[in-house]
Amino acid sequence: MTIGNSERLPVIDHLSYSSVNTYRQCPLKWHFRYVEKIPEEVIGSALVFGSAVHSGIERHFQTLLETGKASTTEQLLEAFDECWTSFDTDLIKFGKGDDTQTMRELAKKMFTTFQVSHFANPKGNIVAVEESMRAEFVTGVPDVLARVDLAVQSGDELVLTDFKTSRSRWSADQAQSQAEQLLLYANLAGRVLDGKQIKLQFAVVTKAKTPQLEVHEVSLDAARLDRTKAVFSRVWDAIKSGNIYPAPTPMNCFSCGYKTACQAWNG
Amino acid sequence: MAIRANVSFSQKHGQPDFGSVGAGCSLEFELDTTLLEKDSTALREQFDLAYIACRQAVQQQLTPFEQSEGVLSRAPVHSNTNGRKRPSRPATQSQQRALWAICNNHALNLEAVCRDEFDVPAADCLSISQASSLIDKLKNENSVSGGAR
């Protein structure tokens, strides 16, 4: 099961921020997901919920691009439901007190908060909604595939936004600490999209009784970008070397969908 | 009963020193027979969407070859492939989807609109800014002269 030498290297066509992050958390989980492609035994409800809310937001901006008009809350919930049912709902693992209905009600509140925010009606031209971009990020490392949630062009400025759902509000420092993903996107978008100046931001909506939406701008930090490139390079070196091992922590293992495969693994 | 449909799209880009790089994508899928009998417009839409998906997949594969640094950066800003000029930063997938949806809603032929407005054969030959201005124009107009099916 381990990737012992170059002859047994897995066929990795591309990397993504998510795949590199998974490797950093647990190389064995990365192997199960991206090499063996084993279906997960359980799927955390937070992951399904985040994807479904993303689908609603995507529907809003794509409709805005196509018609110039905003979607209704019902239309956003329709997109939410479509995404939710695309998962194997029997596998969804809910947190305490949560179920499909409570999460749908929460999504409705979050969509309402989103719809009345300035973020829902950006100034400028929407040029990309959930857009896939693929390009070389680091020489000698497979191409990186990224999905930009929203790109809006206003004059010479291109604003890239990544949409997040979070249990609590983010601080400015927290946004800056999560900047690696946006810096990577900026690097790819600079070559794929127009825009002399790139502005990066997170739009964070809280999963609270009264949701709040806040936009956090993130600075373009060249040193941080170089560090991100170094991380990708080292992770790729580790993959090539066959460094596959479990990295158990309570946080990693609690909602992991590969418990059985992990326990069966013997190197 | 189902109809088995097969859609494929391939593209080749010229490279410096008489080189070339190409990519292709084929999709095989099943459609309900009733579409053929009762709803030829919906059938055509399914094919249009399949072609868009194939075209986008192919372009995604070819994009790095157009924009990489080094030898390839000496390639002209507009690569000319079989008479089709493609801008260095073509319209995004979202813009192409939006153009397709707007034209579909207004019974316009997207390729005809692209030819009329920018003298290009398809939406993927528009630049990002051309696509933006075309989307704005189509949204503000009920019809476009010469573009009707």
Q: What would the mean pLDDT of B125-131 be, rounded to a whole number?
A: 92
Return all residues near A5 (Cβ < 8 A) that are at least 6 apart.
A242
State the CB neighbour count (10 A cutoff) for residue A204. Answer: 21
Whether residue A131 and residue B93 make contact (CB cut-off 8 A), yes or no, is yes
Q: Considering only CB atoms, which chain B residues are within 8 Å of A65?
A: 94-95, 98, 135
Which of B92, B102, B129 lies nearest to residue A131, judging by beta carbons? B92
pLDDT for position B78? 41
pLDDT for position A156? 84
Q: Measure A256 CA to nearest chain B CA, in Å.
A: 32
Percent of chain B past pLDDT 90, that is, above it, reads 28
Q: What would the mean pLDDT of B105-128 be, rounded to a whole number?
A: 92
Interface of A with B (CB under 8 A): 62, 65-68, 125-132, 134-136, 143, 151, 153, 191-194
Q: Does B40 touch chain A (CB under 8 A)?
A: no
Of residues B98, B110, B96, B108, the one with CA closest to residue B142: B108
- Which residues of chain A register pLDDT less than 70? 1-10, 191-196
Residues making up chain A, counted from first to last: 267
Of residues A124, A136, A138, A149, the one with CA closest to residue A59: A149
Q: Is B31 exposed, middle or buried (0-12, 13-18, 19+ CB in 10 A)?
A: middle
pLDDT for position B77? 35
Specify whether the CB–CB gap between A28 and A262 falls below 8 A: yes
Whether residue B95 and residue A136 make contact (CB cut-off 8 A), yes or no, is no
Q: Considering only CB atoms, which chain B residues are within 8 Å of A67?
A: 102, 139
Q: Does B102 touch chain A (CB under 8 A)?
A: yes
Whether residue A62 and residue B95 make contact (CB cut-off 8 A), yes or no, is no
Which of B61, B89, B136 lies nearest to residue A193, judging by beta carbons? B89
pLDDT for position A266? 93
pLDDT for position B70? 27
pLDDT for position B13? 66
Whether residue A131 and residue B135 make contact (CB cut-off 8 A), yes or no, is no
pLDDT for position B34? 72
Which of B94, B127, B136 lies nearest to residue A128, judging by beta carbons? B94
Which of A127, A134, A143 lies nearest to residue B92, judging by beta carbons? A127
Q: Considering only CB atoms, which chain B residues are within 8 Å of A196?
A: none
Q: Measure A61 CA to nearest chain B CA, in Å.
A: 10
Q: In whole angstroms, give the CA distance from residue A58 to residue A74.
A: 14
pTM: 0.75
- Work out how many CB contacts closer than 8 A connect A with B: 62
Task: Kindly provide the ipTM of the predicted complex, given to two decimals.
Answer: 0.81
> What confidence tens digit (pLDDT) does each residue in B44-99 have?
667 767 776 777 777 767 766 654 332 222 233 344 444 556 677 889 999 999 99
CA torsion through residues B117, B123, B129, B133, sign = positive
Whether residue A127 and residue B95 make contact (CB cut-off 8 A), yes or no, is yes
> What confidence tens digit (pLDDT) does each residue in A25-40 have?
999 999 999 999 999 9
| Interface test mutation site (partner A, options B104, B108, B128, max chain A beta carbons within 10 A) | B128
Whether residue B93 and residue A128 make contact (CB cut-off 8 A), yes or no, is yes
Of residues A34, A42, A45, the one with CA closest to residue A12: A34
List, as ranges, residues 57-86 from B with C-beta within 8 Å of A. Answer: 60-61, 63-64, 67-68
- Buried/exposed A164-183: b ≥16 CB within 10 Å, e otherwise: bbbeeebeeeebbebbbbbb
SS3 call for B129: helix
B-chain residue closest to A149, CA distance:
B94
Q: Measure B93 CA to nearest chain A CA, in Å.
A: 7
